[in-house]
């Protein structure tokens, strides 16, 4: 049995490091104090659950609670010693908090209120168990409830979202894929931004995302402020409260331009471990397993965000009640739905023969979800996220006005400059470029990147446009493009 006592008295010739080492070895045996890789400690309160200890003041309240602190004193005659209960002083607590000897504590990278699956050396996956998992460096806190266990079916998952008016089944499969990817903790696996859009107000965008968040996290946190520096503050606050699910609700574009958030774009491609600035501190900390989802009123994103997104489109001609209401259903059957996702994640599917388009950047995520989703539900709609790109939307708006009319970068620049309100994202980009030559190069690159792609602006409309690159161009002739109408 571990010795959970600590003699705070310094032994003869004992260094401060050796003194701190004794404390942390005793604390490690309690299984209640862990170190966070780069931001203080994590204390497992037997009643309240995991707590992050980010400051000395936070640590002071628990430093003497995880072990029994005493002190050895010598009698006045010097022949015998006796022990008395003792408390750590503020100075001693600070010395422990700042001591590198905290490395003797086991490390927790992620706090969970649900299990996850982690990859094994043989290519299979296993689910983490309640409590501390030294291989995954996670702590799964079940509270007073029963642990979530894998289930073999997907009935509850299908029922939960059966009333959501997805524009096409592929968008429902996108949602299932995002949920599935969220239960996998592979250090090399990024999850895309889930973006839910709809053709009108009240179609169920927020409810759909909130239901997904409740399935994954067991609760729905307050929406993030997605503007500027407030975004960092909200992400930091959610991290401190051990929230995984980050919800950006009812995003609207500013002055008809696409929504942009460079901080969010960076976080989405940092890997499973995200680097965030802690609220009220100057240092960065690692936040593992963060998930970002958004609902959009005006489905228009910057190119960087669109490139990092997974699209879910809702469509309904006339709004009507959602039956079952997905958010209520998720609250009632959360453990079962999550258990079905775990069961799906633990399956070993047949290899998928169809590879995604090479432009899809979340390849590790795709490798994990694609075969499991397509073999259970059906195909995904991965490339449709390009429809969210503000530059693509404005470019194809120009295309619908100029079908079968050849043009080059100069022609498009003149159109933007003559009507900046119709092409606000292009206008903003051009305004940040000082020389005419640089503008031409920038616009030509945008056109080249979108050449030979289709765009369908209206749900149910069979006509689409395709941008055709007519020539590669050389030092004497500008590349020429044309929009052609096509039927898929």
The percentage of the chain sitting over the pLDDT mark of 90, rounded to a whole number, equals: 40
Same domain, yes or no, for 82 and 64? yes
pLDDT at 487 over 60: no
Same domain for 233 and 298, yes or no, is: yes
Q: Where are the beta strands (DSSP E) in 429-473?
A: 454-455, 463-469
Per-residue pLDDT tens digits for 172-184: 999 999 999 999 9
Dihedral (Cα; 363, 364, 368, 369), 10-degree rounding:
-40
Query: What is the model's pLDDT at position 17?
Result: 95
pLDDT digits (tens, 9 = 90+) for 122-134: 889 999 989 999 9
Residues 180 and 311 in one domain: yes
Does any domain span residue 144?
no
Map tokens 């600590």 to a residue: 6
Token pair belonging to 401: 């006005």
- What is the torsion angle, in degrees rounded to the nearest 10, for the CA atoms of residue 19, residue 24, residue 26 and residue 28? -170
Which of 365, 385, 405 represents a domain boundary (last residue)? 385
Strands 131-133 and 138-140: antiparallel
Answer yes or no: are the C-beta atoms of 257 and 425 closer than 8 Å: yes
* Distance from C-alpha of 106 to C-alpha of 96, rounded to nearest angstrom: 16
- Assess whether 315 and 197 both reside in one domain: yes
**Are 235 and 270 a contacting pair, CB within 8 Å?**
no
Same domain, 169 and 275: yes
- The predicted structure's pLDDT at residue 179: 97
- Long-range contacts formed by 24-30: CB under 8 A, 24+ apart: 24/96, 24/99, 24/101, 24/102, 24/103, 24/104, 24/105, 25/104, 26/2, 26/67, 27/66, 27/67, 27/105, 28/2, 28/104, 28/105, 28/106, 29/2, 29/3, 29/4, 30/2, 30/4, 30/66, 30/67
For residue 254, is it within any domain? yes
| Total number of domains constituting the chain | 3
Tokens of 127: 């689910």
Q: Which of 385, 406, 428 is the last residue of a domain?
A: 385
> Do 379 and 447 fall within a single domain?
no
Shared domain for 197 and 344, answered yes or no, is: yes
DSSP string over 209-265: HHHHHHHHHSS-PPPP--SHHHHHHHHHHHHHTT--EEEEEEE--STTSPB--HHHH
Whether the CB-CB separation of 481 and 468 falls below 8 Å is answered with yes
Q: Do residues 40 and 54 share a domain?
A: yes
pTM equals: 0.84
Structural domain harbouring 101: 5-108
pLDDT mean over 401-416 = 92
Considering the domain boundaries, does residue 252 fall inside one? yes
Residues 461 and 381 in one domain: no
Question: What pLDDT, on a 0 to 100 scale, did the predictor assign at position 154?
Answer: 97
In this prediction, residue 466 has a pLDDT band, given cuts at 50, 70 and 90, of: confident
Structure tokens at 40: 């203080």
Give the number of C-alpha atoms closer than 13 A to the C-alpha of residue 399, restricted to the C-beta side. Answer: 27
Strand 110-112's sheet: what is its strand order?
110-112, 138-140, 131-133
| Residue 460 placed within a domain | yes
Domain boundary among 329, 355, 385: 385
For residues 101 and 354, the model is more confident at 101
For residue 228, pLDDT beyond 70: no
Please check whether residues 179 and 233 belong to one and the same domain. Answer: yes
Judge whether 143 lies within some domain. Answer: no
The Cα 179–Cα 437 span in angstroms is 45
Task: Identify the H or E element spanning 201.
Answer: none
Phi, psi of 287 (to 5 degrees): -125, 120
Please tell me the predicted confidence (pLDDT) of residue 80: 61
| Confidence tier at 219 by pLDDT (50, 70, 90) | confident
User: 5 or 488: which carries more pLDDT confidence?
Assistant: 5
* Per-residue confidence (pLDDT) for residue 1, from 0 to 100: 45
Contact present, 98 and 131 (Cβ < 8 Å)? no
Instruction: Please tell me the predicted confidence (pLDDT) of residue 81.
Output: 67
Going by pLDDT thresholds of 50, 70 and 90, the confidence category of residue 76 is: low
pLDDT value at residue 459: 46
- Quote the pLDDT of residue 342: 97
Asked whether residue 198 is domain-assigned, the answer is yes
163 and 81 within one domain: no
Report helix, strand or coil for 313: strand
Looking at the predicted structure, is the pLDDT value of residue 474 above 80? no
Residue 284: its pLDDT value, please? Answer: 67
* Paired tokens of 172: 């429902």
Q: What pLDDT does 168 receive?
A: 92
pLDDT tens for each residue of 243-298:
888 898 888 765 566 788 888 888 887 766 677 776 666 666 677 778 899 998 76
At 203, list the tokens. 């179609």
SS3 52: strand
Q: Give the Cα separation of 305 and 251 in Å (integer).
A: 13
CATH code of residue 343:
3.40.50.300
Q: Does residue 150 belong to any structural domain of this protein? A: no
Same domain, 175 and 288: yes
Identify whether 369 is part of a domain. Answer: yes
Give the mean pLDDT of 12-31. 93
Residue 373 has pLDDT above 60, yes or no: yes
Neighbours of 37 (CB within 10 A): 12
């Amino acid at each position: 049995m571990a010795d959970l006592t600590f003699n705070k008295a310094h032994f003869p010739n004992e260094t401060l490091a050796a003194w701190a080492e004794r404390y942390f070895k005793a604390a490690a045996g309690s299984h209640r104090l862990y170190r966070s890789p780069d931001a203080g400690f994590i204390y497992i309160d037997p009643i309240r659950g995991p707590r992050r200890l980010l400051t000395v003041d936070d640590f002071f309240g628990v430093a003497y609670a995880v072990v029994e602190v005493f002190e050895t004193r010598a009698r006045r005659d010097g022949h015998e010693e006796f022990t008395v209960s003792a408390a750590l002083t503020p100075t001693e607590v600070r010395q422990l908090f700042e001591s590198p000897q905290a490395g003797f504590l086991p490390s927790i990278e992620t706090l969970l209120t649900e299990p996850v699956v982690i990859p094994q050396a043989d290519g299979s996956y296993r689910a983490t168990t309640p409590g501390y998992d030294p291989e995954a460096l996670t702590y799964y806190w079940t509270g007073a409830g029963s642990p979530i266990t894998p289930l073999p079916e997907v009935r509850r998952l299908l029922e939960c979202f059966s009333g959501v008016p997805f524009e096409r089944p592929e968008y429902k499969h996108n949602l299932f894929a995002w949920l599935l990817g969220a239960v996998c903790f592979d250090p090399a696996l990024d999850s895309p931004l889930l973006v839910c859009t709809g053709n009108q107000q009240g179609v169920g965008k927020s409810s759909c995302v909130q239901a997904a968040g409740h399935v994954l996290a067991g609760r729905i946190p307050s929406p993030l402020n997605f503007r500027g520096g407030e975004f960092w503050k909200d992400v930091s606050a959610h991290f401190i409260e051990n929230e995984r699910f980050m919800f950006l609700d009812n995003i609207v574009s500013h002055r008809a331009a696409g929504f942009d958030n460079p901080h969010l774009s960076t976080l989405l491609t940092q890997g499973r471990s995200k680097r965030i600035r802690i609220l009220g501190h100057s240092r960065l900390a690692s936040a593992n397993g963060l998930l970002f989802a958004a609902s959009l009123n005006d489905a228009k994103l910057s190119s960087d965000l669109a490139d990092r997104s997974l699209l879910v489109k809702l469509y309904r001609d006339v709004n009507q009640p959602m039956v079952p209401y997905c958010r209520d259903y998720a609250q009632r059957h959360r453990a079962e739905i999550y258990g079905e996702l775990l069961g799906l994640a633990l399956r070993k599917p047949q290899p998928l023969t169809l590879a995604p388009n090479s432009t899809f950047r979340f390849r590790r995520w795709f490798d994990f979800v694609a075969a499991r989703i397509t073999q259970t539900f059906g195909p995904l709609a991965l490339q449709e996220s390009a429809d969210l790109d503000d530059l693509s939307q404005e470019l194809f708006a120009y295309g619908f006005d100029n079908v079968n009319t050849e043009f080059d970068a100069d022609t498009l620049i003149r159109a933007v400059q003559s009507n900046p309100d119709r092409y606000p994202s292009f206008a903003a980009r051009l305004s940040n470029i000082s020389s005419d030559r640089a503008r031409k190069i920038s616009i030509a690159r945008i056109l080249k990147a979108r050449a030979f792609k289709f765009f369908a602006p209206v749900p149910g409309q069979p006509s689409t446009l395709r941008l055709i690159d007519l020539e590669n161009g050389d030092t004497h002739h500008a590349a020429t493009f044309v929009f052609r109408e096509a039927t898929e």
